[in-house]
A and B are shown apart, each in its own frame.
Chain A
Amino acid sequence: MYERTSIRYWLLFIAIGAFAVALIAFCGTNFFGTRDLREIAKAPNGELEWLRREFHLSDTQFAKIATLQSAYTPVCDEMCRRIMETNSKLDRLVSEKREVTPELEAAIREAGSVQEDCHKQMLAHIYRVSAQMNPTDGQNYLRLMKSRVIQPALSSDTAIRAATE
């Protein structure tokens, strides 16, 4: 009876110990395995670090692309402001009017013009960035941006699949 109880306690201790070791190993592996990317994600320019790793950029290429990115950021912010302005104006007019007035037509044209501008600016930036990369990586970058930015309605691998087929 005493021996059986002792064995039961032993088995319980073994199970608890094994579970504790498993938990420590799991947490340790998970912590150290994700530390690198967690730090990149927290960093202010994490997206550029992603770009560097995804498209195998050298330090020179990275520096040039970082410069391009910092030059493009105010342009992007300005376009963002214009989009919000035209969208709110269009929204107000659509809510106020009961028919398509010349004012509403002008607002629609302006929204379209802003969208066109945005696409042009964005595409120009994408081409400038891809020009800094190695040819293969540049091609891959264009494919990815095409699927994510230019054809957002399509699934992310559609453009890549189309290109490879």
Chain B
Amino acid sequence: MALRRGRGSNPRRWQKAKATSDWPRLSIYCIRRLFEKVEGFLRARCFTERMDDDQLRQKLASWEVRPEIPPDFQRNVWQKIAVREPKPKLPLFGNWNISWLRTPALATYAIILGGLAGTGFGLVESSKANSRNWKSLEAKYVQSIDPYEHVRTY
């Protein structure tokens, strides 16, 4: 069992204890450090020198892994695959690349197209309205000089 790094092994606390000459705390710190060193040494020896190949093989053969798979593991995997997979092409468009039809691009194209169409129809309509207004101004002028037109409009 590994020794937990406690208060005594904290270098800051060591510095503080040293500065205030807190000898009980300093001694506890030294003992903990000593235990940590010994434990590290023993572990290293166990795995490198004290255990031969047969023992290691036995240990490895007896090592049993029991993985705990979360219940939604498979679904998560498929979801991740689906996210990374390229979107299937619409059969209507054959083998064409329709990646530009993704939502933000589609929104941009639709708005640009809408703006252009609106402007185009607006220009046509304003041209017609201007033509009508021009004709009405012409009629107004004729009416202003022709008394018979005056009488007709009464």
Binding site for B on A (CB under 8 A): 7, 10-11, 13-15, 17-30, 32-34, 37-38, 40-41, 46-51, 54, 69, 72-73, 76-77, 79-80, 83-84, 87, 118, 122, 125-126, 144-145, 148-149
Instruction: State in angstroms the CA–CA spacing of A37 and B141 once bound together.
Output: 15
Contact residues in B for A48 (Cβ distance below 8 Å): 141
| Contact, CB under 8 Å: A51 / B111 | no
Measured CB to CB, the nearest residue on chain B to A10 is: B103
Quick one: given A15-B110, A29-B122, are A47 and B146 in contact (CB under 8 Å)? no
Contact residues in A for B133 (Cβ distance below 8 Å): 34, 37-38, 40-41
Measured CB to CB, the nearest residue on chain B to A33 is: B126
**Most chain A CB neighbours (cut-off 10 Å) among B115, B123, B133, B137:** B137
Instruction: State in angstroms the CA–CA spacing of A106 and B148 once bound together.
Output: 21
Quick one: given A69-B144, A149-B145, A149-B146, are A30 and B125 in contact (CB under 8 Å)? yes
Judged by a CB distance under 8 angstroms, whether B130 is at the interface is yes
| Contact, CB under 8 Å: B129 / A30 | yes
Quick one: given A14-B107, A80-B150, are A21 and B118 in contact (CB under 8 Å)? yes
Contact residues in A for B146 (Cβ distance below 8 Å): 76, 122, 148-149
Instruction: State in angstroms the CA–CA spacing of A85 and B61 once bound together.
Output: 129
| Contact, CB under 8 Å: A125 / B145 | yes
| Contact, CB under 8 Å: B127 / A33 | yes
Judged by a CB distance under 8 angstroms, whether B136 is at the interface is yes
- Count residues of B near A (Cβ-Cβ below 8 Å): 37
Residue-by-residue, is B111-154 near A (CB-CB < 8 Å gives 1, otherwise 0)?
A: 10111111101110111011001101110111111111011001
| Contact, CB under 8 Å: B115 / A21 | yes
**Most chain A CB neighbours (cut-off 10 Å) among B121, B125, B134, B146:** B146
Contact residues in A for B138 (Cβ distance below 8 Å): 50, 54, 144, 148
Which of B110, B115, B130, B136 is the one whose CB lies under 8 Å from A14? B110
Judged by a CB distance under 8 angstroms, whether B98 is at the interface is no
How distant is B76 from chain A, measured CB to nearest CB, in Å? 16
| Contact, CB under 8 Å: B150 / A76 | yes
Residue-by-residue, is B31-58 near A (CB-CB < 8 Å gives 1, otherwise 0)?
A: 0000000000000000000000000000
How distant is B6 from chain A, measured CB to nearest CB, in Å? 51
Quick one: given A33-B123, A46-B140, A54-B138, are A18 and B147 in contact (CB under 8 Å)? no
Which of A26, A51, A83 is the one whose CB lies under 8 Å from B118? A26
Contact residues in A for B123 (Cβ distance below 8 Å): 29, 33
Judged by a CB distance under 8 angstroms, whether B106 is at the interface is yes
Measured CB to CB, the nearest residue on chain A to B154 is: A84
Q: Which 3 A-B pairs have the closest CB atoms?
A: A29-B122, A33-B126, A25-B118
Instruction: State in angstroms the CA–CA spacing of A138 and B147 once bound together.
Output: 22
Contact residues in A for B107 (Cβ distance below 8 Å): 10, 13-14, 17
